[in-house]
Structure 1
C-alpha cells in the first residue's frame, strides 16, 4: 500500500508506539491522520484529527468509524498489558478477561466497524499490532500472550477474507518496546520510532507480516524446530 496520500486512523495514538506511528505517517506524506484516543482534550499531537476512541466501548468505535469514512489505513495499536504471577495465578482469569476485552474483542470490533469504509476506499490496509509473545508465553505475561495469540488468529482469518478485495492485512510482531507499558521490565527494547518505520516499510512493500526485531524473527523461525523457542523461553531478569 502507498502511504503517501493515505488517510490513516491510529488507535492509542497519544503515546508510545501509537504516537510514533502518527509522526511516521505524517513524515511519509499521509494526507490525513486521525488520532484515536480515549480523551481527545488531552492530546498534544499537532496536525492530526483527534477522535474519541475506546476499545472497551463499542459505541465509541462505531461512532469513530461512521465519522471517518475516508480512511484507507487502520492501525490497531491500542492495547492493555499487565503482568500476572504465573499460569496458576488465582487472578489469571479476571486479568485475562480484562485484557481480552481490549486486546482481542476491541481489535475485532475495530476491524469490523472500519472494514466497510476501508474496503470501499481500496487499495487500503489494516495493520494489527501483535507481539512476539503471540508465539510463546512466559508465566508472568501468560494472560497477555493469550490475548495476542487470539488476535493473531483473527488477523490471519481477516487477511484471507479480505485478500480478494485489494485490502492488505498486516500483522506486526515485535518484542519489548521502550514505552510506558514496558517501563518496569528489564529487557532489550526497541524504540517506538524504529518500530513504526519498520512496520510502514513492510506495509509499503506489500508484506502481510512484519517481524520488527531480531527477537520476533528468532521466535518465528524456531516454531517448526524440535527445540522451538516457545518450549523454554528464557526468564525475564
Structure 2
C-alpha cells in the first residue's frame, strides 16, 4: 500500500483535485513571495517548469494578461487541472501547456523565455539528473532573464507548516471557511500530504537543499545568484538567479 501511495501520490492528488483542496496557506504564501521577487514588466514570457496543477496561475493572473504563461509537467492530470484555472480566469488565450520531462527536453526554442519558475519541482529529481534541468533552463532563458527556484530545506517540518498555515488563515478572517480549514482540512493536509513529503525527504527519496548549497549548485551550472531567503514556514529556500 505504501509503495502504491508513493508511486501515484501526485497523479491521484492532481486528478482528484485533493492536491488543490489540501494545499496549505503557507505554501500559497511561498508562491506569492516568489512572484513578489520577480522583475516587473509587460509582455513577459513565463515558463512554469513542473507546474503541477497550476497553483501559480491565479497569483500570476494579472501579469499573464499582459504576457504569456507556459506550464510544463510530466503528468497530464496536473495539466488538465491547470487548464481549468485558466478557463476560470479568462486568460486562456495567453496560456499554453506541454507535457514534458524537463530532465530531457522542454519543447520551446532557444532564448525564448524571460522568467523560469521552478517552485517545488526540482527536489523530486535524482541528483545526477539535476544538471540536465539547469542546462535546459540556460538554453531557454533569454539574456538578462530570471530563474526563480524554491526547494525544501533539511529543516522541512510538516507540523510547522500546518501551524503557520493556521496562523495565516486565522489572521485573514475568522469566518466558517477558516474554521473548516483549521478543524478539518489541515489535519488531512498533514496526514495525507505534508507528512508523506516529510518522510520522503528524510528517507532521501526526494532531496533537500540548504540555502548555501542550492546557491552554489546554481552558480556551478552557470547562473548568477541575486537573492535568497527562507520561505514556507522556514521549510524551504527561495533563490532568484539570472
TM range (shorter): 0.3 to 0.5
User: TM-score if structure 1 supplies the norm length?
Assistant: 0.48
Task: Indicate the structure with greater strand content.
Answer: 2
- Using the size of structure 2 for normalisation, the TM-score is 0.47
